[in-house]
Each structure stands twice: as structure tokens, then as C-alpha cells.
Amino acid sequence: MLIRIGHELIFDLKAPVAMSLLLDLVPDRLGDVRAYRSLVEPDVPLHHFTDSFGNKCTRLHAPAGKLRLWADGIVEDSGQTDPVFENAEQHPVEELPDECLQYLLNSRYCEVDKLVPLAWDLFGTTTPGWARVQAICDWVHQKVTFGYAFARPTKSASDVVIERLGVCRDFAHTALTLCRCMNIPARYSTGYLGDIGVPKSVSPMDFSGWFEVYLGGRWHTFDARHNKRRIGRIVMARGRDATDCALTTSYGSAPLVGFKVWTDEVDESVMSEFA
């Protein structure tokens, strides 16, 4: 399956601003890219580096005026839904790889210490491993109402538990925090997720947020907002929470005045546009 991905972000800068970007794909998806082109207007110097989570990052310093970040590409995907490993076991903490330990701790939007009592009360009797993570997803999916009007940049997992309202990142933060409370390493993921194999959404396309857990010696994808296995997730960034995965970070005022995202299944004929 071929998936066309892309974005156009336009900022109105009143003064020069430094920015960092996470608008590329994670390295483990780069081998699936069939074609890709990107543009920054105006043409400013770009500095590329890899952050501590393995994400591809870009830094720039833009002058006052309009700043346009655009990309368009074709990615090959298996066309299969997110894999299911119902027998994936939960590791005792003492047997976890060292790099997993950070995904058990508090982070900016994921207050493990606040939610431990709730998590153990709700999920302490569930079967450890895959079933426990699924029970957490079921609870968050059922208890939290989705709506773009409920977005707030300061909203944390404990806020969501109280308010029961949020967007995709709030569903992910809440579910992954509850997983951490149960000693299951969980990390935030963000990227492209089109309406492939599901009814088309009436809302404009947006970037999406979900999460991954470490069970049975590997990372697995879960999505508390949709709570179903989906086709065509294309990860752009991973980290402890949305702080580590912000697709754009501005070090100064940078009002966003234009925003488009596309993620569509296409056929081979589209490759001619990239020739």
C-alpha cells in the first residue's frame, strides 16, 4: 500500500524567531519512503540533529514575516492493521532494559504519582500484560469525550481524569500514565494517521497522537482515542510525552495562521508527480 503524507504550516512572525522542528519521520520508517520533498520559505539555514529519543530534528532561525513549512511524500506501508500480541507478557521492573525505566516515571503531562491509587484500584485485578493495557485503553476510551474544543496546552493526564474531556494527545497521556502506574513502560507517539480502512472523518485532517508500551521484549502500539487497530500509522516522533514530541517549538512568539495535513491511500500513478 502507498500512502501520501504531507503538511503545510504557516506562521506569521512579528519578529525573528528560533524554532526546532520534528516534522520528519522516525528513522525506522525512512526505509519505507518512496519519494519525499520539503520546503522552507524563506530559504533559511537548517541544522539537523538527532535528539535523545532518536527523533530527527531540525533547527532554524526565521526572520520576521511569513514562515512556510511544507512537505509532501509517498510512504510504502504493509496495509495491515496494528499487530496484536495478546500473549505479550509484562516484565518485572527488575528485568526491564535500562532504557525503559524513564518510561515508568513522571513527565510533564503524565503525573504517575497522582494516579497510582486510581490505577491500582481500577486495574489491580486485571491480567498483567496485553490484557491489562487493553483494559486501560477501554476505560479511557469509555470515560473521556473527544472534541477539538477541549484542547488545552497545559492539560495533563490528571486533568483529563477529572474533566473527562480531551483530544487525541489527552487520551494518549492518560492511558500511558495509567500504564506507568502499573509498572508498564509507556511512551508517547505522534505522526500521520489517515482514515484508511475506516469511515472518513468529517473533521479536517490533523496530526495524531497515540502511545506504545513495552511488553514481551518489544514495543507495541495502542490508541485509547480510537481504541481499535488501525492501518497506516506513520510515526514522526516518540518521547516521554507531548513535550518531547512537539512537532514545532518556537523560542518566541510564532502565531500559526495556516495548517494543513494530508494522509491518503494512493496508487502507483502518483509517483509520476515526484519524477
- Neighbour count for residue 262 (Cβ, 10 Å): 15
Spatial distance between the Cα atoms of 78 and 1, rounded to a whole number of angstroms: 6
pLDDT at position 187 over 90 = yes
Residue 202: is its pLDDT beyond 90?
no
User: Across residues 71-98, what is the average pLDDT?
Assistant: 98
The Cβ of residue 129 has, within 10 Å, a number of other Cβ atoms equal to 19
What pLDDT does residue 130 have? 98
90 vs 275, residue with greater confidence: 90
CA pair distance 235, 218, nearest whole angstrom: 16
pLDDT tens for residues 163-184? 999 999 999 999 999 999 999 9
Model confidence, pTM: 0.96
Q: How far apart are CA 89 and CA 263, in angstroms?
A: 33
Give the tens place of pLDDT for each residue, 205-254: 999 999 999 999 999 999 999 999 999 999 999 999 999 999 999 999 99
* Residue 165 three-state SS: strand
Q: Give the domain ranges of the chain.
A: 2-79+247-274, 93-239
Please give the angle made by the CA atoms of 221, 225 and 228, to the nearest 5 degrees: 55
| CATH C-level class of 93-239 | alpha beta
The DSSP-derived string for 14-59 is SS-EEEEE--S--GGGGGGEEEEEEEEES---EEEEE-TTS-EEEE
Q: Are strands 165-166 and 145-146 parallel, antiparallel or unpaired?
A: parallel
Residues 6+ apart with CB under 8 A from 76: 1, 2, 3, 32, 33, 34
> CA–CA separation, 9 vs 42, rounded Å?
13
Question: Taking 90 as the threshold, does the pLDDT of residue 38 lie above it?
Answer: yes
pLDDT of 84 over the 90 cut: yes
For the segment 263-269, the average pLDDT, to the nearest whole number, is 96
Q: Do domains 2-79+247-274 and 93-239 have the same CATH topology?
A: no
Give residue 275's pLDDT band: very low, low, confident or very high (50, 70, 90).
confident
Closest CA to 215 of 126, 100, 75, 88: 88
Q: Rounded to an integer, what distance in angstroms lies between the CA atom of residue 271 and that of residue 73? A: 9
On the question of pLDDT at 129 being above 90, the answer is: yes
Specify whether domain 2-79+247-274 bears CATH 2.40.30.10.
no
